[in-house]
Amino acid sequence: MLTRLQSNKLFSKVLLSRYNNGFPNLISGSQFLRGFNEITKHRFSVMSGENLRSLSNCASPRNYRVVVAATREMGIGKDGKLPWRLPSDLKFFKELTVTTSDPEKKNAVVMGRKTWESIPLEFRPLPGRLNVVLTRSQSSDITTGENVVICGSIPSALELLAEVPYCFAIEKVFVIGGGQIFRETLNASGCEAIHITEIGTSIECNTFIPSIDSSCFQLWYSSKPLEENNVRFSFATYVRVRSRTTDNYEVKDLSFLPRMIVERRDE
């Protein structure tokens, strides 16, 4: 239960973070108040499962899932671009990262500055998602605004997303690349699942990422082999079964997986 003082402190933090981020448009007035009401409401009522899930998003820092397409050698890019053209992979990526179980919420996509710049101007920010762009530069020319936030490090992004109002308004967090960001996040303890499009065809790349750590992650779903534009590929999902730090974390509740993944697996 939160005391009035704690509620007030959180409320101030909302105002402060909205001001600091220069990002007033992401959370509409109603969502903003909803976040605040969620906090105050919990002082008086029993929490529903949905509220509990929302509150677990307020655990700092946020957990996340990685979404990546990679060759067997873990190649993901060539000269700043994707080295393949797979419309069905783009469709899968969009469906996975946009879909929320609560229609009032959005998901967040976290990406490095170079991946942001690789998205054609007309397609960015990626619509229907909060775009979190990572840069160490203080004088970046990335335009913030509706649905775009800039963060200076991965931990600060995950902490921001665990704060009010984001922890109420953002349902899931997806780390979407590129190489530098995957190298820091792929096998890190906050990564609860990896959605990987496994490219079976040999394609030249010059951006690579580490392999999935099989002592921490277990294959949970793999689609049948597919082919498009002479590229063989399949969709796979790995889930964390063991934490590297505690060595005793077993996945029991897979409710964090997007429904589309669960449905595909059940087919």
Ligand X SMILES: NC(=O)c1ccc[n+]([C@@H]2O[C@H](COP(=O)([O-])OP(=O)(O)OC[C@H]3O[C@@H](n4cnc5c(N)ncnc54)[C@H](OP(=O)(O)O)[C@@H]3O)[C@@H](O)[C@H]2O)c1
Which residues sit at the interface with ligand X, rule CB under 6 A? 68-70, 76-77, 80-82, 112-115, 118, 134-137, 140, 152-154, 176-181, 184, 207
Element of type H or E holding 229? none
What's the min distance (Å) between Cβ of 22 and ligand X?
18
What's the min distance (Å) between Cβ of 184 and ligand X?
6
3-state class (DSSP) for residue 41: helix
Among residues 80 and 225, whose Cβ is nearest to ligand X? 80
141, 138, 116: which is closest to 129 by C-alpha? Answer: 116
Residue 206 and residue 224 in contact, taking contact as beta carbons nearer than 8 Å: no
112, 120, 124: which is closest to 179 by C-alpha? Answer: 112
Q: Give the pair of three-digit tokens for residue 253.
A: 């509740």
What's the min distance (Å) between Cβ of 212 and ligand X?
13
Helices (H) and strands (E) in the chain, counts: 9, 11
Q: Any idea what DSSP says for residue 222?
A: E
End-to-end CA distance of the chain: give it in Å, rounded: 42
What's the min distance (Å) between Cβ of 3 and ligand X?
35
Q: Any idea what DSSP says for residue 210?
A: P
What's the min distance (Å) between Cβ of 155 and ligand X?
9
Among residues 39 and 158, whose Cβ is nearest to ligand X? 158
Among residues 125 and 179, whose Cβ is nearest to ligand X? 179
Among residues 32 and 93, whose Cβ is nearest to ligand X? 93
What's the min distance (Å) between Cβ of 103 and ligand X?
27
Among residues 29 and 120, whose Cβ is nearest to ligand X? 120
Q: How far apart are CA 231 and CA 239, in angstroms?
A: 26
Q: How far apart are CA 216 and CA 207, in angstroms?
A: 24
Q: Any idea what DSSP says for residue 86?
A: -
